[in-house]
């Protein structure tokens, strides 16, 4: 393994807190086992991202590919929690010697929004439930904490740009000209739709859309938001599986 790959491998293990422990596995554990591990490893642990290793490997391959093929544009994640995936994005650009692309870190930094209970009953029930409210504090992480996490890895610089606020307010006027990789992790229907509606037209041909929760339908309508948007825009690019929850497509038109 060359030094660059060794660095990125260690970065993945550090961000996921898997240097000395295994990550929770939704597909191999019971729901109770997974949730127990989720709280221990993520919420009460040191991990800076909830992405399984396979999703970080895929994210790296997308970034390497757009740089290799000179697909123009920046990288963005909408919904960043502690910032781990965006820290990794910046790390990959650093390894590749890329100085003309930004990493956009978009989040409310106040937790998840409150869904409309009539339109999105599953989401409303989940957001109001004890797991997300008491155990997870609505997944809220402050912007200064995320900045501090970037700084701890030596990756907080002028190529990292923060967008603080609800997506419906920040994304329409965000000073982003072009995107090459869009990683959507807003969890909910409206957060997912807001990201697509306001960012997709800025995605370059050949760029990637990664949806973290497309395969999750027990508590979120993320899949519906994606399917409706693709149908309305007549997007026929195939949706490809990363793992049981995460899917992506590459824009061709």
Give the model's confidence band at 13: pLDDT under 50 very low, under 70 low, under 90 confident, else very high.
very high
Contact 49, 84 (CB under 8 A): yes
**pLDDT at 76 exceeding the cut of 90:** yes
**pLDDT at 29 exceeding the cut of 90:** no
pLDDT above 70 covers a percentage of the chain that reads: 100
Give the model's confidence band at 27: pLDDT under 50 very low, under 70 low, under 90 confident, else very high.
confident
pLDDT in the model for residue 53: 96
**pLDDT at 145 exceeding the cut of 90:** yes
CA 201-206-212 angle, 5° bins: 75
pLDDT in the model for residue 1: 82
Average pLDDT taken over every residue of the chain: 96
pLDDT in the model for residue 232: 98
Q: Judging by beta carbons within 10 Å of its beta carbon (0-12, 13-18, 19+), is residue 138 exposed, middle or buried?
A: middle
**pLDDT at 224 exceeding the cut of 90:** yes
| pLDDT tens profile 90-110 | 999 999 999 999 999 999 999
Distance, in Å, from the CA atom of 75 to the CA atom of 102, rounded to the nearest integer, reads 6
Quote the pTM value: 0.97
pLDDT in the model for residue 32: 84
Distance, in Å, from the CA atom of 116 to the CA atom of 113, rounded to the nearest integer, reads 10
Return the minimum-mean-pLDDT range out of 34-38, 56-60, 104-108, 223-227: 34-38
**Longest alpha-carbon distance in the chain:** 54
pLDDT in the model for residue 205: 98
Distance, in Å, from the CA atom of 175 to the CA atom of 221, rounded to the nearest integer, reads 28
**pLDDT at 36 exceeding the cut of 90:** no
Query: Between 84-96 and 53-68, two packed helices, what is the crossing angle to 10 degrees?
Result: 40
Distance, in Å, from the CA atom of 231 to the CA atom of 226, rounded to the nearest integer, reads 9
**pLDDT at 31 exceeding the cut of 90:** no
Three-state SS across the chain? CCHHHHHHHHHHHHHCCCCCCCCCCCCCCCHHHHHHHHHHHHHCCCCCCCCCHHHHHHHHHHHHHHHHCCCCCEEEEECCCCCHHHHHHHHHHHHHCCCCCCEEEEECCCCCCCCCCCCCHHHHHHHHCHHHHHHCHHHCCCHHHHHHHHHHCCCCCCCEEEEECCHHHHCCCCCCCCEEEEEECCCCHHHHHHHHHHHHHHEEEEEEEEECCCCCCCCCCHHHHHHHHHHHCCCCCCCEECCCCCEEEECCC
Return the minimum-mean-pLDDT range out of 1-5, 57-61, 200-204: 1-5
**pLDDT at 81 exceeding the cut of 90:** yes
Distance, in Å, from the CA atom of 37 to the CA atom of 87, rounded to the nearest integer, reads 23
**pLDDT at 28 exceeding the cut of 90:** no
pLDDT in the model for residue 15: 98
Return the minimum-mean-pLDDT range out of 18-22, 47-51, 79-83, 133-137: 133-137
């Amino acid at each position: 393994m060359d030094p660059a790959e060794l660095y990125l491998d260690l970065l993945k293990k550090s961000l996921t807190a898997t240097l000395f422990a295994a990550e929770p596995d939704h597909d191999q554990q019971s729901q109770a086992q997974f949730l127990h591990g989720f709280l221990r490893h993520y919420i009460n642990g040191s991990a800076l991202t909830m992405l399984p290793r396979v999703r970080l490997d895929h994210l790296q391959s997308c970034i390497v590919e757009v740089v290799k093929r000179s697909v123009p544009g920046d990288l963005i994640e909408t919904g960043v929690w502690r910032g781990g995936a965006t820290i990794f994005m910046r790390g990959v650009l650093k390894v590749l010697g890329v100085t003309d692309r930004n990493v956009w870190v978009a989040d409310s930094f106040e937790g998840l929004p409150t869904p409309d209970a009539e339109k999105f009953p599953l989401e409303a029930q989940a957001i109001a439930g004890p797991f997300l409210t008491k155990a997870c504090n609505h997944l809220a992480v402050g912007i200064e904490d995320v900045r501090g996490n970037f700084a701890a890895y030596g990756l907080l610089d002028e190529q990292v740009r923060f967008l603080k606020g609800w997506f419906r307010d920040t994304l329409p006027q965000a000073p982003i000209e072009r995107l090459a990789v869009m990683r959507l992790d807003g969890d909910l229907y409206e957060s997912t739709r807001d990201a697509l509606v306001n960012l997709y037209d800025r995605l370059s041909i050949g760029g990637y859309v990664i949806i973290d929760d497309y395969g999750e339908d027990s508590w979120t309508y993320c899949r519906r938001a994606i399917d409706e948007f693709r149908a309305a825009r007549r997007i026929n690019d195939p949706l490809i599986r990363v793992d049981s929850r995460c899917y992506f497509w590459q824009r061709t038109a």
